[in-house]
Structures are given as structure tokens and as C-alpha cells.
Amino acid sequence: MLLAAAGWLWMPSSSMVKAEDCEELVGTEKVWWDGAELKPGQIGRLTVMAPTELWLSNKAVKTLPSGAVYRVYALGGGYFGVGRGYGIKNDARVRYETPSREKLAAALCVQQAKANMADVTMNGVAIGDSRAKVEAMYGTAKRKTKNAYGLYWEAYDQGGYKNFLMVSYDRDRVAAMYTNQPIVQTKKGTGIGTAKTVVEARYGRPLAFIQKKDAVYDIQNDEYGTYLVNGRYVTFFYDRYNNNRVDGVLVVNRALEDEKPGFYGTTTEELRTAYEYQIFDLANAARRLHGLPALAWDAKAAAAAREHSEDMAVHHYFSHTNLQGLSPFDRLKRHGIAYRVAGENIAYGQYEAIFVHEAWMHSLGHRQNLLYPDFTRLGVGVAFNSFHQPYYSQEFYAP
């Protein structure tokens, strides 16, 4: 389209572009117009038809040759703005063209998506990034297990749980991610090790609840704070044993969380097994961070842990000692485990593996078990009660 008249050109604003208008552009990194990228803020292009001047602050600074092409970012006052304060006169020596409104709107969608994706990164990975980008950095996932969102957590590390990262993909794009490693960067300058007071000063008060359809879920907790940031739920977990500093960050697309059934998701046998292995990996990632060797998975200990979780879920109690009076150590022996030292963590009600791990890390006795240097083996067992609430058990020992 050719324009010769001076004046201001129509441009789409963020209020004119709805989220659903951008859905088909998810994953798009650039918008192309006649073989060239349509840059953020660009409204058209200018071709020099006859030599003309480039202006800056009412002074001609350069003569432009015929055939030169420039992106245009503003139009008014008899000049085309071509960026960085430079202008070119709007006269017969130049030809001006604009992309379609659809192209301009698409460019705005991509621009908004890029801005949103940069709110939080983990080792350079952001919501919306491709699986290919993650795997170029980490290789293929070490483990893939179901999550409460109906997708999968894929666990990555760069050797021995270094830079541990959990990623959930939707159509091969990052839709959720978690880490407890010092690889978090945010626009507001927060990350692992940031004090809770600083997070709240920069983000404000955390959400008190999340509403899903007709239900409202209270999420107030001193041990973490959740914020809605540009369409993502961002949760900062705080370590009370390190002056309430951030020790984990979870980011989830709002649509993913809002579509999750209820508070716990759909509980299945696959999800139960998934939580067990997620808790195992989270424990080892925490040990790595504290300079401790990883624990080995122990099938017998896992069987003992699952048996105890099932017993608590079915019989509606919560205790290290079961209704037959058996202690954790009695139950380990009953499963044929001879140990030199042993310990147990239990919990219930936390709505997924990440939250129960963080809860244990923020409780002194549980934390001591997770970080006990003499333990070498770990088994994890999970069960759900009739209300879909999970019960969790960890059995640690060294032979």
C-alpha cells in the first residue's frame, strides 16, 4: 500500500489485540513482510527514489542514495521517523509502504509474547521457549513423569543434578518450569537467594487465592508467595533456615493452572508413581546444592514408603507409627532392609511433589533427613485418599 499524505498512521494497540487473536502465533519468533522481518514498533518501510537527506535535530547529517530502504517507526510533522531520533522528509523523493493491519497485529502479538516470556528465565529458558532450545542446552530429559496439569514434568540436569530444571511442555513449548538451583533471573532482579522482603517490595503482596470456575482456593502461606505476572503464576519458595531467602521458583502458564481440575488435578496410578520419582529427584537436586552426594533409589524402601502412605490414606491418620504400633524402623525391617542408620519423612495435603519437597525443606527435622550426609538410599511412596489428597512418605537409610 502506498501513502503520500502526511499525518499519523493507524497502529494496533495492546488493547486491540486479544489473547485469542494471538493463539495461532504461539511459538512464532518473527513476523515477515516481503522477505524482511517486521520489527517491534515498525509501522512501515521507506524506499529512497531520489537522493534525499537524513535529518537529526533539524540538521541534515547525511545524503541517502537512491534505492536505500529504511524501516519506519513514526510518521508525522512532514517526516518519517526511522529510529534513534533520525528522520527523512515525506516528499516525492521517497516511497512509503505499510504492511497489512493483520501483519501489524501479528507483530504486536509476537512483541507482547517476547516481553512476557522474559519475566522469568531459568538457565536462559523462558515460558514459551521451544523444546529444541531446552534440549540444545541440556540434551534429552533424564526423566519424564506425569504432572497434575495433565502434561508431563521432564527433568533435566547437566550432570549429577547440576543446574537441575523441571520443564512441562504444551505442544513442545515450555508451559511450566521449576528449579531450586541458582539459575533464575527475573525482570525485577530476583532469584535464588533473594530475601522475601525484597521479593515483596518488588512484586507487592502475593495472591491470597486462586479462583477456578465456581471454586476459590486459599493459597496463603508464609513459606511461599504466588504472583500473577503477565499471564503466568510465579511462585517463590522461602527458606526459613536461610533468613527467608528464595530457594525455589515455580512458573506456570495461567491457562494451564486454571484448567487443572480442582486443587489436586486428576489423581491416577500414573500420577502417584510420577510424584514418587519427582520427589526423589528433588531430594537429590537439593543435596547437590548443599554439596552432598546423591541418594540411590531403593525399591524395598519405596515399597515400605508406599505401604505406609496407603495405610494413612485409607485409615485416615497421620503418624510415623502405624495403627499396629509399628515404627518406621519396624516397617523397614519387615521389608527386609538391614540398616546402619535410617529416617522417615511424611506429609499430606500438599498438592504436588514440588510443594511437599519445599515444605520438607522448610521444616527442620525433615530438612535434616533430606540433607543427612550419611544416608545413601531413598525410597518414596505416595497414596491418595478418597478426597484426592496425597499422602507422602520418604524412607532414608544407609546399609
The answer, as to whether pTM is greater than 0.75, is no
Q: Is the pLDDT of residue 113 over 70?
A: no
* pLDDT at 22 (0 to 100): 67
Q: What is the mean pLDDT of the chain?
A: 90
* pLDDT at 20 (0 to 100): 55
* pLDDT at 361 (0 to 100): 97
Residue with cell 508525522: 76
DSSP 46-108: EEESS-EEEEETTEEEEEEPTT-EEEE-EEETTEEEEETTEEEE-STTEEEE---HHHHHHHH
Task: List, in sequence order, every residue forming a beta bridge with 381; answer none if it has no partner.
Answer: 393
Share of the chain above pLDDT 90, in %: 75
C-alpha cell at 159: 550432570
In a domain, 270, yes or no: yes
Q: Of 93, 115, 137, which residue constitutes the final position of a domain? A: 115
Please tell me whether residues 271 and 390 are part of one structural domain: yes
Please tell me whether residues 123 and 207 are part of one structural domain: yes
Q: Is the pLDDT of residue 261 over 60?
A: yes
Q: Of 115, 148, 168, which residue constitutes the final position of a domain? A: 115
* DSSP code at position 169: E
* CA neighbor of 96 nearest in space, from 112, 115, 117, 73: 73
Please tell me whether residues 280 and 243 are part of one structural domain: no
The stretch 161-186 carries a mean pLDDT of 96
In a domain, 390, yes or no: yes
Calculate the CA 257 to chain-centre distance: 12
Please tell me whether residues 128 and 231 are part of one structural domain: yes
What is the number of domains present in the chain? Answer: 3
Q: Is the pLDDT of residue 24 over 90?
A: no
Q: Which residues contact 293 (CB under 8 A, 6 or more apart)?
A: 287, 376
The stretch 172-193 carries a mean pLDDT of 94
The stretch 373-396 carries a mean pLDDT of 96
At 85, the pLDDT band (50, 70, 90 cuts) reads: confident
Structural domain of residue 197, as residue ranges?
A: 117-261
